[in-house]
Amino acid sequence: MRTPTRSVPSAGGPLSAPAPDAADRTVQATTPEKFPTQPASPQVKHGTEEEIWRRVTREVADDLAVDALVRDRAGKPPFDELARLREAGLPALLTPPGPARRGTGWRTACAVIREISAADGSIGELLGRHYVLSWSARFFGTPERADGLERRASAEQWLWGGGIGLPDTEPATGPDLTLTPAEGGYLLNGCQSFAAGVTVADRLVLGAVCTATGESLVVCADPAHPGVTADPEHDRLGQRLSAAGRISFDGVPVPTDQVLGTVPHDEHALAPFTTLAPLALRLALVHVSLGIAEGALAEARDITRAAPRSRPVTGRDDGAYPDRPDADPYLLLAYGELVTDAHTAAAVVESASEALARGLLAGPELGVDQRAEIAVLVAAAEAVTSRSAMHLTTRILELTQGADSAADPLGFDRFWRNTRVLTAQASPTHGLRDIGDHYLNGTHPALTLHA
């Protein structure tokens, strides 16, 4: 088994050529930075803060890349990985700067998600979902409630888990989670599955239905309570370290001050800003998928460059590439197509990230038209990246001959499996339909909390 080297850049992905002698040493990042020089979010006042986060993220990603394959195959709960994130301060990154806080904005958070995902897709998903959930009090509550909660979460470096979608209120099954009024608040009961954070979260954001009023409430719960039972999912196809699983609640107290907000019965009554919550989650997962694809491409490039120089598949070398590590023109063509594919996806994702950052900046003043534009761009990013990431990771598995073995010794099966699990979570069909309807008829995508 090889010891992975770190070659994942922090900017536009592993898309530019490394230095000529990179095959003989640990490859360093050489591409333009993903972190924007002019962030759309106003939280970062000085470029120095962004430079700090960029350097910190690269160091954490380097560390995670070294043993990513070993950890993936072990499939243990990511306590050690979370400790690495906390040591670097990354859980508290997406908070406004203030006393005892040194936060930043959405664009930088997206870049962090993407770079961590390039090293370890599972941890990238865990961090991406955490960042979106950390904004739950802003989406559903008051500024005062959000400020108080964020102060404590930042100081204690909480990792958020759970989900922010509407509870299932189908008459045949009833809601997954219920809240029964009790002295000082509610009692939480029921069970629900989540894609990340089940075994490692410090706090959970949940949607539950009040048994007395039928209202849908968004609440914060402590998973350390004895009434909480977590059952992690073992032997997942991919994203094995995201701490996915099922949580059960048996009379878990939820104080009134832990109720973040109420969701209207009529989704059409939702504020446009509130409905950015599922869009933010979808875009965070898009960055995870893109990061995984870029990480696979970077590692494949390093393996190819380090391999003995091969003859072209045509059986002759016309001398066009005498100094390259591999002179096979068909291999060069394949890499050219994959790099172009990754560039295309990155451009669409960056456009959606910029639009979402502006929407988050607008806050409660966000209009329906602006929200519609954001929804369309996120859907486009989701569709393009899903297709590109699956094609790219599948093709790399073929180029590195990882598809010939049930247990790929180079570990490129990990990238394909992680991408397959992420893209299977949501089909781009509905998003493409919304894009077409918006383009042809000017119809706005529905205001909804369903991801």
pLDDT digits (tens, 9 = 90+) for 34-50: 333 333 333 434 457 78
Question: Using one digit for the tens of pLDDT, what is the confidence trace for 145-171?
Answer: 999 999 999 999 999 999 976 655 454
Question: Using one digit for the tens of pLDDT, what is the confidence trace for 419-430?
Answer: 999 999 888 899
**pLDDT for position 361:** 92
Q: Check: CATH 1.10.540.10 for 22-159?
A: yes
Across the chain, mean pLDDT equals 85
C-alpha R_g of the chain: 22
Average pLDDT over residues 428-435: 93
Q: Is the pLDDT of residue 5 over 50?
A: no
Residue 181 φ/ψ, nearest 5 degrees: -55, 140
CA-closest candidate to residue 45, choices 90, 123, 101, 3: 101
**pLDDT for position 20:** 39
**More confident position, 90 or 18:** 90
What are the Cα distances from residue 411, in Å, to 144, 296, 387, 427?
47, 10, 21, 27
Give the ranges where 316-428 is alpha helix by DSSP (H).
329-362, 368-399, 413-424
Question: Using one digit for the tens of pLDDT, what is the confidence trace for 266-275?
Answer: 777 899 999 9
Q: Check: CATH 1.20.140.10 for 269-441?
A: yes
**pLDDT for position 340:** 97
**pLDDT for position 321:** 56
**pLDDT for position 168:** 52
Range in 11-25, 192-206, 412-426, 436-450 the model is least confident about: 11-25
Q: Is the pLDDT of residue 326 over 80?
A: no
CA 159 to chain centre: 14
Range in 10-19, 71-80, 328-337 the model is least confident about: 10-19
**What pLDDT band is residue 102 in, cutting at 50, 70 and 90?**
low
**More confident position, 171 or 119:** 119
Average pLDDT over residues 49-74: 94
What are the Cα distances from residue 375, in Å, to 240, 430, 451?
29, 12, 11
**pLDDT for position 8:** 41
Question: Using one digit for the tens of pLDDT, what is the confidence trace for 195-252?
Answer: 999 999 999 999 999 999 999 999 999 999 999 999 999 889 999 999 999 999 999 9
Q: Specify whether the CB–CB gap between 292 and 242 falls below 8 A.
A: no
The string over 109-131, giving b where at least 16 C-beta atoms fall within 10 Å of a residue's C-beta and e elsewhere, is bbbbbbbbbbbbbbbbbbbbbbb
**pLDDT for position 29:** 36
**Inter-axis angle of helices 368-399 and 329-362, nearest 10:** 160
Average pLDDT over residues 297-314: 76
Q: Is the pLDDT of residue 407 over 80?
A: no
**pLDDT for position 235:** 83
Residue that the structure tokens 């002759």 belong to: 316
**More confident position, 404 or 202:** 202
What single letter denotes the amino acid at residue 400?
T
Question: What is 162-263's CATH number?
Answer: 2.40.110.10
First to last CA, the chain: 39
Q: Is the pLDDT of residue 123 over 80?
A: yes
What SS3 class is residue 373? Answer: helix
**More confident position, 403 or 41:** 403
**What pLDDT band is residue 100 in, cutting at 50, 70 and 90?**
low
**pLDDT for position 425:** 83
What single letter denotes the amino acid at residue 2?
R
Q: Specify whether the CB–CB gap between 130 and 197 falls below 8 A.
A: yes
What pTM did the predictor assign?
Answer: 0.86
CA torsion through residues 168, 371, 386, 84, sign: negative
Range in 301-315, 367-381, 426-440 the model is least confident about: 301-315
**What pLDDT band is residue 75 in, cutting at 50, 70 and 90?**
very high
What are the Cα distances from residue 118, in Å, to 192, 287, 297?
29, 10, 9
Average pLDDT over residues 50-75: 94
**pLDDT for position 416:** 96
Q: Is the pLDDT of residue 401 over 80?
A: no
**What pLDDT band is residue 255 in, cutting at 50, 70 and 90?**
very high
Q: Specify whether the CB–CB gap between 94 and 86 falls below 8 A.
A: no
Domain edges within the chain: 22-159, 162-263, 269-441
Q: Which residues pair with 160 in a beta bridge?
A: 203
Burial of 33 (0-12, 13-18, 19+ CB in 10 A): middle
Average pLDDT over residues 19-34: 36
Q: Which residues pair with 101 in a beta bridge?
A: 98
Q: Is the pLDDT of residue 315 over 90?
A: no
Dist. CA 176–CA 163, nearest whole Å? 12
